[in-house]
Structure 1
Amino acid sequence: MPSLPVRLGLFYSAIFIGLGASAPYIPIWFAERGLSGAQIGLILSAPMMARMITAPAIGVWADSFALRRTPLILMGAVAAACYVLLAAPFGFLWWFVVWFVAASALSTVSPLTDVIALARARRDGFNYGWPRGIGSAAYILANVAAGALVTRGSPDLVLIWIIVSAGLAAVSARVLLPPDPVREEGGRASLAERLAGLR
């Protein structure tokens, strides 16, 4: 088994290879399905505009688990399932809702991983920047590779790419992340404790 910094870097990579493909190229996939620029912009911007609400809410939910990696497994699985559902040709409203759920889930995985990585960096004495840097490099490589695929093939390859990467993130969270508890003394935090953490 690789060292923890390497495992964290590999997990960041699993997250960012999907984001590196979806961020620049999913608009092409939507455009091929007949959506206008305004519709595509609304689909892509809605999760970002709602993040001030969804991110804290997901954070409170994530703190309800005994282990920090458990919600990351679930969010990767939810994102992968939503990306599969995105292939259904039900039109703008369907795509809006499905993308909103997938993007909201996946965008929260990285900051929740930061909680694990920063705590472990302090405890184990490694530089947090190394695993995070591996993920950033994976983002750039995915950006270039996905661009080459879209140039030579169908935009459907982008959707396949992000489905696989989200599934990989879910599996990697179970395999690569340490079983660190949410609470040092073990157990689950109460709702009152989780809400107090937001203050």
Structure 2
Amino acid sequence: MPRGATLRWPDRSRTVRPLVPGVVALRLYYLASFAVIGVYLPFFPPWLAARGIEGLSFGLLTATFPAMSVIGPPVFGLVADALGLRGHLLRVACAGAFVGFAGVAALAGGGGASFAALLLPVVVFGFFRSPMSMLADVVALEAAREGHVPYGATRLFGSMGFLVAAVLAGGLEPTSAVQIPLAIAALLLVTLGVTFALPSRVPVPARPSAAQIRALLASADVRLFLASAFFAQAAFACYDQCFSLHLLARGASPRVLGATWAVGVFAEVLLMANAGALASRVRAPVLLAVAYGVAALRWTLIGFVPGFLPLVALQPLHGIAFGLAWISALAYVKDRAPRHLLGTAQGVFVATVSAGSVTGMLGWIHVYRRGGGALAFGGAALVSAIACGIAIAFARRTRAGQNEAVA
């Protein structure tokens, strides 16, 4: 098993591979599925606030998606590894997520968008949406292992979908009862359609055993990796939950809100498109420590700079704080987990970062309401600093070649 996983990319100067149809379909899937999040993340929290949902109710509804991500990805990952299912599971996940948000749209259109009424459809959406990216990542990592196309070159289409959707959704009216829910439901339906072009299943090289899963999770380097990811995402939850509210409070319009999110995601696209040169020189654990350190700086600046234009100017840091962190984390998972445990390992990773999101989202909104952006993002900076410290220990351990192989 590789020591101190380093991202590996084919040498494009010597080898140019034609895209296989499955890769094209996977890119379209990323484009559509992340367009969903491009509307959901920036605009669903203000939409809830416009319905008069605040405080604990607001926190519970916004935390439902990451809470379901603690459950959904490991369950779908185990099934994916055990049965070799890919497209079949993606269709189930997309259909379930569509049903959930179609329920939100129906309630909103009927004037019944209260906390009690919204909870069940939001839970259904969260459970089925949570494994959609994880399963696509498994397919993309498998394609990267077979040399078809680098993971980053595929995943960046998700960032592009997020970017375009965030910009276009800025033209929607967040106070409208139905525009935001209908947009999300429609994009989920498009995503469902794309899944029929993806491979339904892959050969199963070996059945994962409980002992192998326990051995992987008991490894010290894996535990340090997961701990750093937990704290990093707990801090990042402040951005997901409070940044739109913070920006609007500074005087930004809905169009500026969408454009600001888009600037950050554009930086993420640029990083993913050019990650190979950096990744060939620096180990993934080191890159994680750098990304978490930059995130701590980013939250500090967001919390304390005045006005909203400086917040727009800070958005390129998203490319490092999120894009570099995500690419590096998945590179470690791909190199560290045996092939027959890839779906399970990816599911555990997603569940861990989702647990961090839930932890953060249950607290950050209350911190923000009490002390504004300075207190909330200042706290997030401290949590990111903890993640950075753990990631430094993780990088040192992997440099020393202390990974523990799992057969």
* Structure possessing the higher radius of gyration over alpha carbons: 2
- 1:68 corresponds to: 86
Check the 8 A contact 2:94/2:192 in 1, yes or no: yes
How many residue pairs get aligned? The number is 191
Aligned residue number for residue 62 of structure 2 = 44
AA paired with 1:75? A
- Residues 85-100 of structure 1 mapped to structure 2, 5 A cutoff: 85-86=103-104, 87-88=106-107, 89=112, 91-100=114-123
Listed as ranges, the matches of 1:66-145 within 5 Å are: 66-86=84-104, 87-88=106-107, 89=112, 91-145=114-168
Residue deviations 1:145-197, cap 9 Å, x none?
Answer: 1112236x83521111110111111111112x123326148xxx6xxx46556
- In structure 1, runs of 5+ residues without a counterpart are none
Q: TM-score, normalised by structure 2?
A: 0.43
Q: Deviations over 1:70-117 (max 9, x none)?
A: 111011001101111113226312312221221232121111111111
Q: 2:36 aligns with which of 9, 12, 18?
A: 18
Tell me, yes or no, if the aligned pair for 1:26 and 1:158 is still in contact at 8 Å: yes
Higher relative contact order (CA 8 A, sep 6+): 1
- Kindly indicate whether residue 209 of structure 2 is the aligned counterpart of residue 183 of structure 1: no
Q: Is the 8 A contact 1:63 1:194 kept in 2?
A: no
Identify which range, 129-138 or 64-73, moves more after superposition: 64-73
Amino acid at match of 1:36: E
Q: Is the CA contact (8 Å cut-off) linking 2:25 and 2:194 kept in structure 1?
A: no
- Indicate the residue corresponding to 1:169 in structure 2: 191
SS in structure 2 of the partner of residue 172 of structure 1:
helix
**CA RMSD of superposed structures (Å):** 2.6
Q: What SS does the aligned partner of 1:84 have?
A: helix
> Would you say the 8 A contact 2:68–2:126 is kept in 1?
no
* CA spacing shift, 1:125–1:181, aligned 2, 3 Å: closer
Gaps in structure 2 of 5+ consecutive residues: 1-18, 215-407
Change (3 A) 1:90 1:30: closer
Matches of 1:156 and 1:101, distance apart in 2: 19
Q: Residues 54-75 of structure 1, C-alpha deviation per residue, up to 9 Å, x if partnerless?
A: 4312322444555311111011
Q: Residues 125 and 84 from structure 1, CA distance in 2 versus in 1: closer, same or farther, beyond 3 angstroms? A: closer
- What amino acid does structure 2 have at the position aligned with 1:183? V
Work out the percentage of aligned pairs sharing the same amino acid.
Answer: 28
